[in-house]
Amino acid sequence: MKKAILIHGWEGSPEHGWYPWLKNDLEKHGFEVIVPLMPNSAKPKMNEWLDHLKKLVGSPDENCYFVGHSLGSIIILRYIESLKADQKIGGAVLVAGFTSNLGYDELDTFFQSKIDWSKIKSHCDKFVAIHSSNDPYVSLHYADFFRNNLSADIIIQQDMKHFSGDDGVNELPAALKSVLKL
């Protein structure tokens, strides 16, 4: 059975924004869907999030897909980077993803080491990055990082801000289509 794991961002929760909608729609397409509450989401620490995700996933395989929003995107990349040599996943959708702390000291633990793009690509070769034309936090130049380093398909949505429930984004059809395409 195909499994999808949806990871919220900093200060997020599984009930917020478009996660319940995406969970419901993926289940209609036959996916087992897990939307965990990540530990200490107001003061996230990479090791806590990574350990939590590893326990949650167990043994990943090519029927395992990930969707991350904001900080959820970088923990998915760190997770993929941590896989054993023979482990692969089916694909990842990165919504409003980024590759630096965006000027927030609270996110430093996620960026203490360089991202090992080649190691990530050795465990997964299907990526989609979804960005908004007017995201107040995540610049569009991050889409180029994902295109250049992961050969990710890039989707630019107009006027979706940071894709959060606070921005009025309670459905995200581009994420659903992307997972189904992977």
Question: Which pLDDT band, with edges at 50, 70 and 90, does 6 fall under?
Answer: very high
Structure confidence at residue 76 (pLDDT):
98
pLDDT at 166 over 90: no
Domains of the chain: 3-181 (3.40.50.1820)
pLDDT in tens, 50-83: 999 999 999 999 999 999 999 999 999 999 999 9
Taking the C-alpha atoms of 175, 180, 181 and 182 in order, what is their torsion angle to the nearest 10 degrees?
90
**Span 118-132, pLDDT tens digits:** 999 999 999 999 999
Percentage of residues of the chain with pLDDT beyond 90 = 97
Read off the tokens for 105.
């000291």
The pTM score is: 0.96
Residue 176 has pLDDT above 90, yes or no: yes
